Structures are given as C-alpha cells and as structure tokens.
Structure 1
Amino acid sequence: MTMRAAVCVRAGGPEVLEIREVPVPEVREGWSLVRVKGAGLNRSELRTRQGHSPNVRFPRVLGIECVGTVAASTAPELPEGTTVAAVMGEMGREFDGGYAEYALLPNSLLMPVTTTLAWDVLAALPETYLTAQGSLDALGVGPGGQGRLLIRGGTSSVGMAAASIAAGYGVEIAATTRRRDKVGALIGAGVDHVIVDTGEPLTAGLRAIWPEGPDHVLDLVGARTAVDSLRLVRRGGTVCVAGSLSGWAIPDFEPIAMIPSGTRLTAFHSDDIKGSAGAAVLQRIVHQVEAGVYRPNVDRVFGLDDIVAAHRYMENDQASGKVVVVP
C-alpha cells in the first residue's frame, strides 16, 4: 500500500519538496498510524528545508504538526477512528511528519480531540494556539484585562492567535507588522493599536500609546528584536521570546548589560505542550473556536500537490495568520 507525501529531498529552496508515492508506514509498538486530514505550516519547517536543522537527514517528510484520524492503533486509549492532533516531539525532523497522507507517530504525541470543526480549521490550531496560550501563560497574561500587551510579529499565525486569546481576556493589545496592508487583519483579530514596523526604533510610536511602555511583550520576531523588547517593556515588566522569525540566537548577548534591573526575560517552547500535556488545553481551545470566542485565523489552504507554492507563500511573508495544507 502506498501514499502520497511531500518529500524534502535535500536542503534548498521550495523546489526541493517533491510529491512522491511512498510506502504507507507499518505500525510498531508504541506508535500508531494517523490518516492525515490537515497540517499547519510553520516557519521552523522552512528553516529545516533550508538546511538549518542539524539533526535532520534528507530525504525527510517535513511537518511538525498534523490532525487526522487513527488508522491503525497500538494503544487501547486510541481506538481506530479517533480524531487526534500531534505537535512537535521531533516530527518532521528525526522521523517523518505531517506533509503526507499518513503519518506514523508515537502514541505519546497523539492528543485525542472531540470537535465539529472542519479539518482545515482544526489543522490551523494545534501548534499555533498551544504556543500562543503557553506564551501568554509564561507572561502572566490572563483573564481580567490586567496589563498592556505588545505582540511583535503580530501577523504571524502565533501572533494572531495570541491576539485572539488576549482580546478574549480583555487585555489592551498593541501589535507590530511590517506591512500596512495587514493592519486590518490585526484589528480584526482584536488588536487595539497597530504599529507599522519600518525598521526604525519602535520607541516613539509605542510611547505615544503607552508612555510607560507595555507591561508584557510577546516577541515572535525573536533573536533580532529580543534585546530591543527588553528596552521597550516597562521597568519590572516581562518579555517572552516564543518565535524565531529572525533566527534562533542572540549575538553577543550580555544578560547583566542588556536586561534592565527588575525586568524579566523568559521564553516558551511548544515542545512543552506536546502529547498529554497539551490535550486538555487543545480541547479547551477547540471549544472556544467552536463557540466563536477565538478565531481560527486560517489565511490560506493549499493542497498537498501545491506544497512548493505553499512554502513560497510562507517564505515571502504573504500570510496574515495560518497556512494549512490538506492531502
């Protein structure tokens, strides 16, 4: 039995993703076969495709998340037909991931979900919303509308999800984008103040909104802006780095010189909410989307055959929200 999969044959541009007929993986102890119904695209996959993930050996089926149904199970708690989501745990890196019609995944990664959402909508949620929720928790942003939140990289899928959650909390939100044509998408997601990032310091625009600075900064741009975010947040506030749009490492980082006294720098990694640790949180998020409290923020849906175009779309920063691939 064979399946269609988007195989990354070597490091390079989007064209190194090839649709191939490959054998459907056979189940083994501790692993179950998932019929993939949708997979959210993530920029970490872009960097893996470019050759920046040192533990990845090509050819590899990329995809750090997927949703679907259990096709063959080795776990009594995961009977065939169960709707599941899976995130991280070296999917698409050490073993093949979600860019395929089937994925063989560790049982420990599978999160059962009960939902009425369409597959493309459900596929937009796991990595994006679990990361957004975990990041806001790390910042101490919660219900009650306390504090002012700045989201850097606001039109990323995680930024849009964080805005949706924080708006539901009643928090006052500012967000950055490099493109004026994305301002409306941010306002629609619940952002109160949009700052167009022209590459110049954000200080003047932000101080015009909040003279003392935000209480919290969710930095999804990452390494390039983290130190600047520490200067922008109010003294005693918190910066959470949860994205890597500009890379993974802060060059020449000197904590004592660069972190203002009393200001907190933290981070959130979505590997912390994989498997059973994220199942209850994901189910709550799904209910909130079904109820219309959270927006799924699906920007565009591509077929598996269009995976090259999907990666180009993501790499060119054309999306305002989540890009999804369906087999």
Structure 2
Amino acid sequence: MRAIVITEAGGPEVLEWQEVPEPTVRPGEVLIEVTASAVNRADVMQRQGFYNPPPGDSPYPGLECSGVIIQGGYGFEPGDQVCALLGGGGYAERVAVPWEQVMPIPENISITDAAGLPEVVCTVWSNVFMLARLRRGETLLVHGGASGIGTMAVQLAKAHGAHVVATVGSHLKGAAVCALGADEVVNYREEDFSEKVRADVILDIMGAKYLAGNVRALKTGGRLVVIGLQGGIKAELDLLTLLNKRAAVHGTTLRSRPADEKGAVCRGVVENVWPLLSAGAVRPVVHTTLPMAQAAEAHRLLDSGEHVGKILLLASSPA
C-alpha cells in the first residue's frame, strides 16, 4: 500500500507518498480501507520530531480517518462505512485500529467529511463535557475558535445551551466563528481576553503563554483544560488566585490513552454527538480537501493559519 512517510524531522517537504508494507492486524483490531484522513496539529509536531506515536501504533501520521471495513469482527462487517480515532496511520491507504475506536458514520454526513470528525469531536467531548462538565447556562471560552477543535467546540457548547466566547486572529475568522454560534469573539491581536472574559470553562491550546491570563479569566469554581502547548510548556501558576477562585487546572491528552479509555470516549460521542450531527444541529467544518499525496501542501496551509475548520486528505474516491 501507499502511505505518507516522514523521511526526517523537518518542514512539510519531508512528507513523501511512498510504497510501504501492509499493516499487521492484531487481535482486537479491524482493518479499514481509508477514504480520507484529516490534518491535525499533532501531525505537525510529529513531522517536526516532537510527538512520536504511542508504542505499537502506526509510524505514519494521521489521528483520524474515514473509510470502509475490509477485515471486520467485533460487530463490524466488511463493507461497513466507518470513521475511527487513531494513534497514527491515517495518512495511508489502509490502517489497522482497535475496534473500540471505530464508529459508524453519522446519518446525513458524507464519508469524506466524516474523516474530520473523530479527533476533534472526541477531544471536545472528553474534555469540555466529560472532564470539565460544562453545564447549560455556563460560559465556555475556546481558544483558537476557527481551528478544527475550535469550530466543533463552539457548536457543541452552543447546542448544549452554553454561552460561547472564542478567541480568533482576524475579523474574517471572527465572522466565521459567530456564524457557527459563538456569542462573542475576542481578536487576540487587538485585545487581552483576560480583561474581557470571565468563563466557567476554558479550552486552551496554547499552554504556557496563556496560563496566567486563563487563570485570571476563570470564574469562581472555573475549570481550565489545557490540551495543547503551542505557546510553550513552562509557566508560573498563581496558586493564590487559583485557591481563592476554588478553580481547577487540568492537563490532558487523547492520543496516548489506552484503547478502552478511547473506546469509552467514542461511545459517548456516538450516543451524545452523532444525533446532533445527523439532525444538522452541528456540522463538520471543512476548509478544503486535497489528495493525500499532497500532504505537504496541506501542512503548509495548516502552518499558515489561514484555514477555518478542517483540512482533509483524500486517499481514495468515495464509494
């Protein structure tokens, strides 16, 4: 089969579409013929040499895919159209994945668009709802509101009755995020979010750079969930402010969790989020779709920050 291989740590040019060995299907796994995958920030970090896949997972990038089951079991039959949360290997023509991490495609969603759902939906559901327990009427602050995760967080929080604030880097992105349901946007190039926003839950992709501001922005009893480190890994935490607010800071990752934990997240997503997608209350936001052989161009686009929503990579034509 063919897959995107990282030939060495570096820029997008190190991504090459090459012939590679077929994946080995281990007990507890199914084999998927990949229709499409999607680009995530973790793929960029892996390309740069900073974020290797968990032991035993595919060495190729790609944390999600959609496609067709070609070797089933565990309730899946050959020919079933599915999408899956992966530890790696989405940038390939075929991928083996633990059955717990495989989900049916929501009704009324195309098999191509479904490729951009597993990573962002599972990330938002596990962190905003399972961990931080966002409730109706509370305020959610989403950093990077125009990103794949951001566009999904805005929609899901709004669908659950929250007041949603998002940070964005341009007025154009602000308009796009408001169209998805955000009640307020803060242009981080022009304003300090910590002076303007008070939130019950904050979903943060920046890490160190935003830690102090995030703690200031929390309401009493607030919950800060850090899921990314684009702004660095070390910062000073004002514990007195945290204590006075009776607030909490959580740091989580999804990729390194064992299959049973990922499976629990996937089951929650199918039960709670898939109906919203099928009904059109929440939708995938796709910026563009490129052939998988052009993964380098997709990474350049992600690096530019000019996209809104997901960038998809098409491995094969939809059935």
| Same fold flag (TM > 0.5) | yes
Q: How many residues align?
A: 307
Cα deviation for residue 176 of structure 1 reads 0.6
Q: 2:307 maps to what in 1?
A: 319
The one-letter amino acid of 1:256's match is: L
In structure 1, distance between residues paired with 2:127 and 2:65: 21
Q: Map of 1:1-327 to 2, 5 A cutoff?
A: 3-53=1-51, 60-73=59-72, 75-88=73-86, 91-92=87-88, 97-113=89-105, 115-137=107-129, 138-142=131-135, 145-198=136-189, 201-206=192-197, 213-247=198-232, 249-251=233-235, 253-254=236-237, 256-257=239-240, 259-261=242-244, 262-271=246-255, 274-282=262-270, 284-327=272-315
Helix, strand or coil for the counterpart of 1:237?
Answer: strand
Cα deviation for residue 83 of structure 1 reads 2.6
In structure 1, distance between residues paired with 2:217 and 2:268: 34
The one-letter amino acid of 1:128's match is: V
Q: Which has the higher mean CA deviation after the structures are superposed, 187-196 or 267-276?
A: 267-276
In structure 2, distance between residues paired with 1:174 and 1:326: 33
Q: TM-score, normalised by structure 1?
A: 0.85
Does the aligned pair in 2 maintain the 1:34–1:69 contact within 8 Å?
A: yes
Cα deviation for residue 150 of structure 1 reads 1.5
The one-letter amino acid of 1:104's match is: A
CA RMSD across the alignment:
2.4
- Provide closer, same or farther for how the CA distance between residues 225 and 71 of structure 1 changes in structure 2, counting only shifts above 3 A: same
Does the aligned pair in 2 maintain the 1:216–1:238 contact within 8 Å?
A: yes
In structure 2, distance between residues paired with 1:160 and 1:26: 35
Q: 1:209 maps to what in 2?
A: none
In structure 2, distance between residues paired with 1:233 and 1:254: 13
Helix, strand or coil for the counterpart of 1:119?
Answer: coil
- Provide closer, same or farther for how the CA distance between residues 109 and 166 of structure 1 changes in structure 2, counting only shifts above 3 A: closer
The one-letter amino acid of 2:312's match is: V
Q: What's the CA shift string for 1:136-187, capped at 9, x where partnerless?
A: 2122213xx3122211221121111111011112221111112222111110
Cα deviation for residue 76 of structure 1 reads 4.4
Cα deviation for residue 234 of structure 1 reads 1.9
In structure 1, distance between residues paired with 2:237 and 2:206: 19
Does the aligned pair in 2 maintain the 1:153–1:176 contact within 8 Å?
A: yes
- Provide closer, same or farther for how the CA distance between residues 205 and 151 of structure 1 changes in structure 2, counting only shifts above 3 A: same
Cα deviation for residue 189 of structure 1 reads 1.1
Helix, strand or coil for the counterpart of 1:243?
Answer: coil
The one-letter amino acid of 1:290's match is: S
In structure 2, distance between residues paired with 1:26 and 1:53: 23
Q: Which has the higher mean CA deviation after the structures are superposed, 112-121 or 131-140?
A: 112-121
Does the aligned pair in 1 maintain the 2:166–2:185 contact within 8 Å?
A: yes
Q: Which has the higher mean CA deviation after the structures are superposed, 21-30 or 157-166?
A: 21-30
- Provide closer, same or farther for how the CA distance between residues 300 and 55 of structure 1 changes in structure 2, counting only shifts above 3 A: closer
Identity of aligned residues (%): 29
Q: Structure 2 unaligned segments of length 5 or more: list them.
A: none
Q: Which has the higher mean CA deviation after the structures are superposed, 163-172 or 8-17?
A: 163-172
- Provide closer, same or farther for how the CA distance between residues 234 and 80 of structure 1 changes in structure 2, counting only shifts above 3 A: same
